[in-house]
Amino acid sequence: MTVETTAVLKNVSKQVGNRKIIDGLDLSVQKGEILGLLGPNGAGKTTTIRMMVGLISITEGDVSIHGKSITKQFEQAIQHVGAIVENPEMYKFLTGYQNLIHYARMSHGITKERINEVIQLVGLQNRIHDKVKKYSLGMRQRLGVAQALLHQPSLLILDEPTNGLDPAGIRELRDYLRQLVEKKGLSVIVSSHLLSEMELMCDRVAIIQEGKLIDVRHIKTNESVQQYIVEVDDVEKAKQAIEQLEQEMNLEMRKEHIVIDMEKEHVPAVVQTLVQHHIDIYSIIPATKTLEDQFLEVTGGKEIV
């Protein structure tokens, strides 16, 4: 099965003065996936995103979107892209509708029907003819999404889209993005420094630190080996019992529980053994490694945020 790639970053570097802010970034975004850019503040997420949309020049390397170079074929490349860079800044003295008209005129073939469709989609139909200065932040965010989707892009780029949104707004945005990806096969790139949020939103996360790509992780796939925390009455006895199983598993003793690294299939066997040895089991909890743990693991425990 071949995976369609929407955008490719090839050895992208950005130098300002003597400092390399971004250093040899290689990354690709597949069709129908949400890719997160994660990193501490100042790691280069925003710079990367702005290079992808041509707001910032690229010192070395190139970004291509649907095979068109953003530097050499800007107009062809950017037409596939919808973006919100930081907070969606709109013309406050215009109405929401006039703002959309403004952006619609800058793309080809956007009909009145399409504009209305997008307004319905983001649920702004009741307030669309109000001036944007009367909008709440959440409404501006929705208008921002409408603006980005107007020309039916195949790549959506969101830079810190949840800045300033309340939890309900974040959730709404997240569900909405998921829906778009599933229904329309859109590719999405999101940057954020909020781990928990990225974990919920993304399929893959690229971790950037000091301008370098450190790791790319899949979020949704269950790794075969997982950690289980088993709470028992007698830890010592339990350990001996499990060791008799002669399965390859890593045991770690704690005060009132054992932490076992094992495959899912081995869980029943472990439970059976423990029961046979008359060891009381209070709970077995799969310890999902949070993205935060993984992040700290790869960035060497450096503080985030």
Partner 1 sequence: MFNLIKNENMKIYRRPRTWVMFGILIIIILLMSILLHVYELDNWGWVSPLQQYAEAQGLIYYENTFWSNAYQVAGLMSLVSIFTIVIAGDIVAAEFSWGTIKLLLIRPFHRSKVLLSKFIACIIFALFMLTTLFILSILINGILKGFDGFSASFLYMADNGEVVERSMMLQMLIYFALSFGELLMITSIGFMIGTIFRSSAMAIGISMFIMFTGSIISFFLLRYDWGKYSIFPNLELTQYRGGAALISNELSLGFSLAVLAVYFVVFNVLSWYIFSKRDVALS
In the complex, the residues that contact partner 1 under the rule CB under 8 A are 16, 21, 47, 50, 53-57, 74-76, 78-79, 81, 83, 85-94, 98, 101-103, 105-108, 147
Residue whose token pair is 């969606």: 88
Looking at the chain, the number of H-run helices and the number of E-run strands are 10, 14
Minimum distance of partner 1 from residue 115's CB (angstroms):
14
Residue with smaller CB distance to partner 1, 64 or 205 = 64
Q: How far is 273 from 288, CA to CA, in rounded Å?
A: 24
- With b for 16 or more beta-carbon neighbours within 10 A and e for fewer, the 35-74 pattern comes to bbbbbbeebbbbbbbbbbbbebebeebebbbbebebeeee
- Partnered with residue 64 across adjacent β-strands are 8, 69
Minimum distance of partner 1 from residue 26's CB (angstroms):
21
Minimum distance of partner 1 from residue 198's CB (angstroms):
22
Residue with smaller CB distance to partner 1, 156 or 270 = 156
Residue with smaller CB distance to partner 1, 94 or 214 = 94
- Reported as half-sphere exposure (CB side, CA atoms, 13 A), residue 103 has a value of 28
Minimum distance of partner 1 from residue 86's CB (angstroms):
7
Q: Which residue from 22, 29, 11, 34 is spatially nearest to 192, judged by alpha carbons? A: 34
Token output for 226? 């997982």
Residue with smaller CB distance to partner 1, 99 or 242 = 99
Residue whose token pair is 């790549």: 155
Residue with smaller CB distance to partner 1, 56 or 229 = 56
Give Rg (Cα) of the chain. Answer: 24
Residue with smaller CB distance to partner 1, 90 or 230 = 90
Minimum distance of partner 1 from residue 281's CB (angstroms):
55
φ, ψ for residue 30, nearest 5 deg:
-90, 160
Residue with smaller CB distance to partner 1, 92 or 302 = 92
Minimum distance of partner 1 from residue 177's CB (angstroms):
19
| Residue 189 identity | I
Minimum distance of partner 1 from residue 95's CB (angstroms):
9
Residue with smaller CB distance to partner 1, 118 or 242 = 118
Q: Which residue from 298, 176, 213 is spatially nearest to 36, judged by alpha carbons? A: 213
- Provide the strand spans (E) within 243-280: 250-253, 257-263
Q: How far is 164 from 86, CA to CA, in rounded Å?
A: 10
CA distances from residue 24 to 53, 214, 215 in whole angstroms, order as listed = 17, 11, 13
Minimum distance of partner 1 from residue 259's CB (angstroms):
44
Could you tell me if 157 and 125 are in contact, meaning their C-beta atoms sit under 8 angstroms apart? no
